[in-house]
Amino acid sequence: MDPDGSRVIIPIGDLDRDAADTLAAAVNESLAHPPGRLVIQMTHVQFCDSSGIVTLLDAHADAARLGTELVLADVGDHLRALFQISALDQVVRIVEESRG
């Protein structure tokens, strides 16, 4: 927990159908005591597909229901383009700062 009430999750690897459950479980664990903000730091995610997009949308909705804002940080150029094409960035805020 950061002093400002954020939690950080740092997934490592490809965010595809095989990783969806792992990330969802990590998000749920973080939401057991809902922080003000949940940061998913994408530094080590080189690949994300439609399964990853849906997982992030679900996680964002779960967090929102508990009053937590889920944001993405350190999003690389390719993923940024992907999130724009899929309109994920119209739902989930992408922030510049890097923490954790």
Which residue, 54 or 94, has its beta carbon nearer to other proteins?
Answer: 54
Q: Does 13 sit near other proteins (CB under 8 A)?
A: yes
* Residue 11 contacts residue 100 (beta carbons within 8 Å): no
Task: Tell me how far apart the alpha carbons of residues 36 and 69 are, in angstroms, rounded to a whole number.
Answer: 6
**How many beta carbons lie within 10 A of that of residue 38, not counting itself?**
23
Among 36, 65, 71, 90, binds other proteins (CB under 8 A): 90
Among 5, 36, 85, 93, binds other proteins (CB under 8 A): 85
Span 42-71, contacts to other proteins by CB under 8 A:
44, 47, 49-51, 53-54, 57-58
